Amino acid sequence: EGPVSSIGLAKDQELHGFVVEDIQSVSDLKLRAIRLRHQKTGAEWLHIDRDDKNNVFSIGFNTSVSDSTGVPHILEHTTLCGSEKYPVRDPFFKMLNRSMSTFMNAWTAHDYTQYPFSTQNAQDYENLQSVYLDAVFRPSLREVDFRQEGWRLERSDAADSTSGWQFKGVVYNEMKGAFSDAGSLYSTRAEQQLFPGTTYQYVSGGDPAFIPDLTHEQLVAFHRERYHPSNARVYTYGNLPLAPQLERVGRIMDTYDRISLAQVPMDVAEYGEKQVTELGPVESVGAPDKQTRFSLSLLANDLRNVYETFSMSIFSSLLLHGTSAPMHKALIDSHIGSDYSANTGYSPYTRRTSLAVGLQGISDSDIPLVETRIRETFARVRDEGFERRRIDAALAGVELAYRHRKADFGLSLMQSISTGWFHGVNPIEYFKVSENVARLRADVERGGYFESLAERYLLNSKHTLKYAMLPDAKYNQRLDQREHEMIQSKLDTLSSGDLAEIDRKNAVLAEEQMRKEDLSSLPTLTLADVPEQAGRFALDMGVAGDEVPVPVQWRATSTNGISYFRVINDVRDKYPELRPYLPLFCEALTYLGTKSRDMSEIETDIHLHTGGISFSPFVTTDLANLGHIEAGISYGSHCLDQHIEPMYRLVLELVRETNFDNTDRLRALLNAVASNMFNDVARSGHAYARRLAASTLAPEAQVLESLNGISQVKFISDLARLTDLAPVVEKLKQVQEVVFNKLTMRSAITTNSGSVDDNQRALELFLEKYPKLGSKEDASDGNGGGDAGQKFVPSSSRFFCPLPFATNYAGKAIRAVPYSHPDSVKLQLLAKFLTPNYLHREIRERNGAYGGGAGYSAVQGIFSFFSYRDPSPISTIDTFGRSIKWILEEHDISEREMTEAKLSVFGDLDTPLSVAEEGMSYFTTGITDDMRQERREQFFAVGPNDLKDVAAKYLASPESASVTSVAVIGEESLDISGDWTQMRLQ
């Protein structure tokens, strides 16, 4: 690995209107960084030359705001709705299926908006670059697209001119959903209060209370001011040559003249100490009298000091994270609250960075106690600093993280530099990780370094916010009331002629959404661009252990000096009563400590010697039989090759010696897990809705729902309310006894060829002390489906889970066929076909949900539909059904559409893997390289009639109704009647 695409470039060289300002090689990261500037406009360009075929392009603009209308966020959406060269309604979503991109997105941060993509195909890269550049510099920005993506007034029944009015719009609904997440709302409001008089007192993504103040004219003006080369940062990464890209982009930028940039206030005037109390939503899972959130937020260093920002991030980690952190001991171990508040941590995303510490799940009366604990801990850190081993462990973690090769390295590199770069920092400074680590080690060696940071920023802060959010049981009702008042205030200013004009515009939008488009202007790959052969990974199969041979999958490859270790322990369908405890059990293994050592000591060892140890529940389905599953736990770790022996020793210590009698820490863990799971439903409700719908259809889906679904959220919150944890302790001990068993174990090791022997020796020692239970026959019996002794029988259900959100999620699932069935590939292509050609238009464009689509899990054998942040989930469930009628009766599938569905599938199949993931699909599911190749060939062969056949057979037949379920998660006020099973969390 190393630079390949910029050989011959030199400092001060001019090329296609750009001048090279800086070139630096970073040997640690095997890259060469070239910083250029466009001479005419001042646009900045950073090129990372690295031998990596997953090439990245991004263009971004400074978009700091002066209000909370969400103008940069709505503009980000609207620029992707057609442009001069590509005058189609939604080129961004259309290109998802004309490309084999490994990533395509756009996002709005505090101070900037970025449009990144990555792909391994050179032609694809050129195609996407052309679409993105035309989108940002020459967008159509039509009012009709602004009304679809931003906000609009619309009748609740478009066909009835007497029906009431509502706000609709993709971003409007997205932000309503974001503000439904109590943690996200708390963080946003606290930050607004910390930075009055600056751009950060506003919500760049948009506050639903202010989004309807934005006009189309303001959007167009914001684009004219901000989307200009003088305000742009271009990032490129990978092994494609730089010169042709400079020429392509330079041609566009040369048509612009340099402008002076819009300035918004970023530096806050220090206000001493301020206390603010506001009202927020109630969480279903918490105790009613413990719903308050409180935090202290303090200004820290200027973001542009790269070394101090690095130091403060390490400082924050040492202060807060892990069971050995002083703040964890002071706040979490004391059981005052359920977990840290959502804003807790160091925030290097504003011009002046900040550090916040707080708790959620407390009672109002605990606020003074929490503040006292926080301030006492600040003083203790100033006086005593941090334990040297913990500092060494934190720095070891930084170094290991940079050695660990992620598949999306180019993208993650871009994200690590973007905030500083948009604030004027030379981005290359962020790559000098080993220099910063060495400097920090030297500062720590001299003594008093972290103590001085505590003194300066925590104890002598000239700008501190004390922010409390109290629970209001009527919070969502008040939000609804405020929305009705906003609608009414809009209507009060409109004449009957104005309302008729709004009706007309809505009719035009509805017509536009249904219009058949000519997509011939959009570039596309063809199936000839898709490699016929799937990538293969050389694996060796061996065994380890004398008494009981344990299967070992070896992958010897270039790993940058890192060894990766993974284990699966399978208990099949035995012990179904213990299954709901598996997620808690996995969390407890890295939280409770052992009889002889507390977790803080073990945790420091883990961070000194490994990249962490993780345990998680595991389930997969037999590739030929949906009724047979494997279920248990999976765990693993990775380390530098010099730490192989301690890595295995530490894993074994947790497996054998975890002290489940430590009920004090178990209670703290339960409270945190319950709170985090509830917040996760607000963020990922569509995934929970799909899991809930699928849970009645197949054994794996049933198990997944019990492990990571609504029933697990309810199970954990019920456990968290127990006063006596003795029964829970007993169950966790039983899980430990049955899960860790040499007889049901297999392992996988990925390492350098020179470290195979060291791993084999360490594994043999590991297995000598690994528990063994029963006989091989005992371990492998069981019917593999559903609860022990009971055959799983699929059934049809409808679930509704009411939650205190201002948004909704819908899911529908249908049982289909196992992985090895010839119809499996056709169903996977059908899902890829329905999403862009029907569901996207109906769910997102017409209904105003943030997202929706179809998917097919080939291993589970489940076809599913979903919607995300959806204003009308019940009508969306009808839409799911109509999509099948549409493909069967109303639509002829073209060869072009067929090719696009296949390109989308191949894009997924060929997503690059990190070294750690290579060969893992065989280890976890049994899918061999030959099976992947055979499936690949089947995809090429599928035709339009095949999609109609499987739609009719599995999704529209009378038999399919008995293996179809739906689920809705969302607002209590939804009009749901009939035979729905209600899933209440309390």
Residues annotated as catalytic are 76, 149
Q: Which long-range contacts (CB under 8 A, 24 or more apart) does 704-712 make?
A: 704/619, 706/579, 706/580, 707/579, 707/580, 707/582, 707/583, 707/617, 707/619, 708/583, 708/617, 710/681, 710/799, 710/801, 710/969, 710/983, 710/985, 711/580, 711/983, 712/580, 712/583, 712/677
Contact (CB, 8 A) for 320 and 340: yes
Residue 115 main-chain phi, psi, to 5 deg: -125, 85
Look up residue 189 and give its amino acid.
Answer: R
Cα 979 to Cα 90, 551, 976, distances in angstroms: 39, 49, 9
- Cα–Cα distance measured from residue 433 to residue 959, given in angstroms and rounded to the nearest whole number: 60
Q: 115 near 262, Cβ under 8 Å?
A: no
Residues 6+ apart with CB under 8 A from 751: 554, 555, 556, 559, 562, 563, 564, 641, 759
Angle at 356 between CA 443 and CA 309, to 5 degrees: 35
Which of these, 413, 400, 433, lies nearest to 27 by C-alpha position? 433
Q: 143 and 216 in contact (C-beta within 8 Å)? A: yes
Give the separation between CA 687 and CA 677, rounded to whole angstroms: 13
294 is written with which tokens? Answer: 């409180």
Q: How are beta strands 745-751 and 112-119 bridged, if at all?
A: unpaired
Q: Cα–Cα distance between 478 and 485 in angstroms, integer?
A: 10
CB 800 within 8 A of CB 980: yes
How far apart CA 188 and CA 424 sit, in angstroms, is: 25
Helix or strand run (H / E) with residue 410: helix 409-422
Contact predicate 590/598, CB 8 Å: no
d(CA 326, CA 683): 30
Rounded distance, CA 229 to CA 231, Å? 5
What is the β-pairing status of strands 463-471 and 550-556? unpaired
Give the DSSP per-residue string, 854-883: EEEETTTTEEEEEEES-S-HHHHHHHHHHH
Structural element, H or E, at residue 527? none
* Residues 6+ away with beta carbon under 8 Å from 230: 41, 42, 43, 256, 258, 259, 260, 261
Contact 353, 420 (CB under 8 A): no
- Report d(CA 982, CA 800) in Å as an integer: 5
Tokens of residue 495, six digits = 């004449």
CA gap 717, 581 in Å, rounded: 12
> What is the dihedral angle through the alpha carbons of 135, 138, 139, 141, rounded to the nearest 10 degrees?
160
Q: By the 8 A CB rule, do 548 and 569 touch?
A: no
Angle, CA 138 vertex, CA 136 and CA 143 arms, to 5°: 95
Distance CA 191, CA 202 (A): 9
Closest by Cα among 923, 974, 955, 967 to 705: 967
Collect all residues with Cβ–Cβ distance below 8 Å to 162 and sequence separation of at least 6: none
d(CA 512, CA 514): 5
